Structure 1
């Protein structure tokens, strides 16, 4: 794809990496403040996956093979920022709250396993920090996003509101487009093309 190519200047790559980390850190601080003020007993569960995103973003390995396309960066920021904007003040339906807790816990285990497989190769904007093919990546090509999906459905059960539904709808529209942008960039790598042939499903086995 013409607009997606490795950065030419190492300094620009470092600036993009650092800018991404600062944005995530600021949004995480705002989320922590909302959780502390919330009267919802399930609010701390919001911090499980989002704190993991922050930690892995801060320790990740820098790369020069990162997208320069503005639309890719906007998609990545939108998909990452949306879950950090969720409002935890709404009360869940008691009869189904346990379903939300289970989805959040299972989803966090899934996304944590994917992050541990990536280790310092984790990133937000589309980039090639190495092709992973083992562990959860042997099941679907984007197991981290699959974990996020379970977490976000669980969060909607625990914090039901029209606002949160809209936030996740916007976030996941960006997430799917971001996923496709990642695959366009990674598909320039022969190793990833071979991996894509072996692992057919991107997010949900048998569906997508």
Structure 2
């Protein structure tokens, strides 16, 4: 004859199956928050994309004012086009799963991206003709388009693994977009030369090298990228770097 306590134990859910836990009548606390809080990445994307839009608008307005004073300065308009290409398309890039948030990467990226805000827009010394400078800028911009088209949306600001790409421009160098930046910047600098611009672009070139090194450090964790590095030897300039 079973006691009332033993009968209750036999009728408890899961008692006849040792693999199932016996309910204790206590439940784990539930998340009472109405929705998942925004992650650090999401907040970063909002801040960067809004600030980029505002800064680009202010920069474009200032550049157009200078251009209207001297309509023959084609390189100035192309500088605006290049700035919109670099940052404008980044506004529509997808958020990567893994990104380098290190302070060095962040400073290199922000400095190399927003450098145009420190460029002297007033006329400088023409080391090369305006037409030749414009040709260099157009060549650099077209190469950037080719590189970005090869990525098919896998681009952004901070170093990140957005997928390994080896097609298109990436068959010739590991970071072809930076070659486009270099050609475009040289076209403007040599047409609008001055000590301020020389300093700005010198720092910018150094920051771009820093971005490349940090980006490859992140991507090298991927075995596919290490194999890609074995096939494509140079980063930006074949035979040099």
TM-score by length of 1: 0.89
After superposition, the Cα gap between the structure-2 partners of 1:181 and 1:174, relative to the gap in structure 1 and judged at 3 Å, is same
Q: 1:121 matched to which residue of 2? A: 154
Q: Give the counterpart of 2:138 among 98, 105, 126.
A: 105
1:105 Cα deviation from its structure 2 partner: 0.8
Q: 1:5 matched to which residue of 2? A: none
Deviation track 1:36-86 (CA, whole Å, cap 9, x = no partner) reads 221342221111211112221111011120112111111100011113432
Q: 2:83 matched to which residue of 1? A: 50
The answer to whether 1:93 aligns with 2:126 is yes
> Where does 1:15-94 land on structure 2 (aligned, <5 Å)?
15-38=43-66, 39-40=69-70, 41-42=73-74, 43-91=76-124, 93=126
* Distance in structure 2 (CA, Å) of the matches to 1:101 and 1:109: 12
* Distance in structure 1 (CA, Å) of the matches to 2:227 and 2:139: 30
Structure 1: gaps spanning 5 or more residues: 1-8
After superposition, the Cα gap between the structure-2 partners of 1:199 and 1:161, relative to the gap in structure 1 and judged at 3 Å, is same
Runs of 4+ with >6 A deviation: none
Q: Does structure 2 retain, via aligned residues, the 8 Å contact 1:13–1:64?
A: no
1:155 Cα deviation from its structure 2 partner: 0.5
Question: Which one has a bigger Cα radius of gyration?
Answer: 2
1:92 Cα deviation from its structure 2 partner: 5.1
Q: Which moved more, 1:82-91 or 1:124-133?
A: 82-91
* Distance in structure 1 (CA, Å) of the matches to 2:52 and 2:194: 24
Q: Does structure 2 retain, via aligned residues, the 8 Å contact 1:115–1:122?
A: yes
Q: 1:4 matched to which residue of 2? A: none
* Distance in structure 2 (CA, Å) of the matches to 1:78 and 1:160: 20
* Distance in structure 2 (CA, Å) of the matches to 1:162 and 1:78: 18
Q: 1:163 matched to which residue of 2? A: 196
> Where does 1:115-194 land on structure 2 (aligned, <5 Å)?
115-194=148-227
After superposition, the Cα gap between the structure-2 partners of 1:95 and 1:172, relative to the gap in structure 1 and judged at 3 Å, is closer
1:17 Cα deviation from its structure 2 partner: 2.5
1:26 Cα deviation from its structure 2 partner: 2.9
After superposition, the Cα gap between the structure-2 partners of 1:10 and 1:121, relative to the gap in structure 1 and judged at 3 Å, is farther
Q: Which moved more, 1:61-70 or 1:131-140?
A: 61-70
* Structure with the higher helix share, 1 or 2: 1
* Distance in structure 2 (CA, Å) of the matches to 1:95 and 1:115: 28
What is the RMSD of the two structures over their aligned residues, measured on CA atoms?
1.8
